[in-house]
């Protein structure tokens, strides 16, 4: 049974956050001054089990989801994640199973994830400048371990790898050309993400947003680009190929060129709530009915009822809001 929301957007993508914990403290997501050593994350018993996640994924696939992305927090801090990957890879109808990671733990995990059935890997790396990266991740980690993780993923058979960078003016925007060149030479796909006002704790300001058009222009000036068609409806990245045919980049322009009209994504939080938008204020609890013995039909009806009334388009209406939304869910909780 395929479902559509009030704006006739189909349900195609499910993003599963497997943990709210992370080993980084990136300033645009989990600022270290807020998420310090005493911050209380979810207790283990509140997290959905792998069996519960797999059951929800199976139901969502029955409603039209074909793309499953594992996120966090940092998903690799969840023990035995490859076991969940194996369970999800066995779900009939999952066409694309992928993982977003900061890659710090990927050297130990890449081969096991590939063997378990993971299709693709996306790595977050905001700059190649070691000093800036240490500041941005809030833990003083250098780039070497992330690059080692990318190399391990490539050795394991993941290729090309998508590398994601959140671009902030005055922070790392002067390094975008270097990132593009470095990963073009290695055959991977660089994607640049406009700095977004996800959650309420990252101190977002519009003047820190580097528009996608400016990012493209900077790269095009040194390595000429030409626009490409999207791969499918709901693809978030605007794609550009290098004019000489050697690779491509993508830009995710949620702020300056919102793509709400084609958004096909639902998000499942670590404790089992579903959110219909990255900028949602409130989710719908699935864990309680799951643990109270609800049947698949009941859970399917609940998910369907949530999607059928969905009309989120925050990024399109952001500039018309008279005051900021103060209770948005934080990005580390439901993934990017």
User: What's the pLDDT at 333?
Assistant: 62
Mean pLDDT of the chain: 90
Residue owning tokens 């050297």: 107
φ and ψ at residue 105, rounded to 5 degrees: -100, 5
> Between 144-156 and 106-116, two packed helices, what is the crossing angle to 10 degrees?
20
Report the percent of the chain where pLDDT is more than 70. 90
Report the predicted TM-score, pTM, of the whole model to 2 decimal places.
Answer: 0.91
Tens digits of residue pLDDT in 207-258: 889 999 999 999 999 999 999 987 776 678 899 999 999 999 999 988 888 7
Give the pLDDT confidence score for residue 222 in this predicted structure: 97
Segment 146-169 mean pLDDT: 97
Query: What confidence category does residue 46 fall into, taking pLDDT thresholds of 50, 70 and 90?
Result: very high
Q: State mean pLDDT over 109-119.
A: 98
Q: Using CB atoms within 10 A of its CB, is residue 38 exposed (0-12), middle (13-18) or buried (19+)?
A: exposed
For the chain, give the number of residues: 336
CA distances from 320 to 98, 207, 227, 276, 315 (A): 35, 17, 29, 21, 10
pLDDT of residue 111: 98
pLDDT of residue 320 exceeding 60: no
Query: What's the average model confidence in pLDDT over 75-99?
Result: 98
Separation of first and last alpha carbons in the chain: 27
The yes-or-no verdict on residue 202 having pLDDT over 80 is no
Is the pLDDT reported for residue 322 higher than 50? no
* 125-135 pLDDT, tens digit each: 999 999 999 99
Which tokens is 50 given? Answer: 């792998």
- The string of DSSP letters for 189-206 reads EEEEEE----SSSS---G
- pLDDT for residue 163: 98
Least confident of 9-23, 169-183, 219-233, 282-296: 219-233
The predicted model gives 95-113 an average pLDDT of 97
Within 10 A of 34 (CB to CB), how many other CB atoms are there? Answer: 11
SS3 160: coil
DSSP 225: E
Do 158 and 116 touch, CB atoms closer than 8 A?
A: no
pLDDT of residue 27: 78
Instruction: Give residue for tokens 């710090």.
Output: 104
| Residue 159 predicted with pLDDT over 70 | yes
> Does position 329 have pLDDT exceeding 80, yes or no?
no
User: What's the half-sphere exposure (Cβ side, CA atoms, 13 Å) at 28?
Assistant: 24
Q: From 92, 84, 83, select the one nearest 65 (Cα to Cα).
A: 92
Distance CA 230, CA 120 (A): 18
Give the start-to-end residue ranges of the domains of the chain: 13-334
DSSP-based three-state secondary structure for 90: coil
**What CATH code is assigned to 13-334?**
3.20.20.70
Segment (H or E) for 13:
strand 13-17
User: Which of 335, 332, 326 lies closest to 281 in space, CA to CA?
Assistant: 326
Contact assessment for residue 190 and residue 180, using Cβ atoms and an 8 Å cutoff: yes
> pLDDT tens, 54-73?
999 999 999 999 999 999 99
Q: Looking at residue 323, what is its pLDDT?
A: 46
């Amino acid at each position: 049974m395929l479902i559509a929301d009030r704006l006739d957007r189909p349900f195609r993508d499910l993003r599963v956050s497997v943990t709210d914990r992370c080993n980084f403290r990136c300033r645009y997501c989990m600022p270290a001054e807020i998420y310090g050593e005493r911050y209380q994350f979810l207790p283990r018993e509140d997290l959905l089990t792998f069996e519960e996640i797999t059951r929800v994924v199976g139901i969502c696939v029955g409603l039209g989801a074909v793309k499953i992305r594992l996120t966090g927090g940092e998903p690799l801090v969840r023990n035995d994640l490859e076991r969940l990957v194996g369970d999800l890879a066995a779900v009939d109808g999952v066409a694309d199973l992928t993982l977003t990671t900061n890659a710090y733990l990927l050297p130990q995990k890449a081969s096991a994830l590939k063997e378990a059935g993971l299709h693709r890997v996306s790595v977050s790396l905001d700059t190649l400048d070691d000093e800036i990266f240490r500041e941005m991740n809030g833990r003083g980690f250098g780039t070497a371990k992330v690059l080692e993780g990318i190399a391990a993923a490539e050795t394991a058979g993941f290729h090309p790898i998508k590398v994601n960078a959140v671009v902030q003016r005055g922070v790392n925007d002067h390094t975008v050309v270097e990132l593009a060149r470095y990963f073009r030479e290695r055959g991977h796909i660089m994607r640049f993400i406009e700095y977004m006002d996800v959650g309420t704790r990252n101190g977002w300001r519009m003047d820190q947003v580097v528009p996608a058009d400016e990012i493209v222009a900077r790269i095009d000036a040194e390595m000429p680009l030409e626009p490409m068609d999207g791969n499918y409806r709901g693809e978030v990245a605007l794609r550009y190929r290098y004019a000489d045919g050697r690779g491509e980049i993508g830009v995710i322009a949620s702020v300056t060129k919102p793509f709400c009209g084609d958004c096909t994504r639902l998000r499942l939080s670590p404790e089992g709530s579903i959110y219909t938008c990255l900028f949602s204020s409130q989710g719908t609890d699935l864990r309680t009915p799951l643990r109270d013995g609800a049947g698949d039909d009941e859970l399917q009806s609940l998910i369907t009822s949530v999607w059928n009334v969905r009309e989120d388009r925050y990024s399109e209406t952001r500039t018309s809001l008279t005051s900021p939304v103060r209770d948005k869910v934080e990005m580390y909780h439901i993934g990017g």
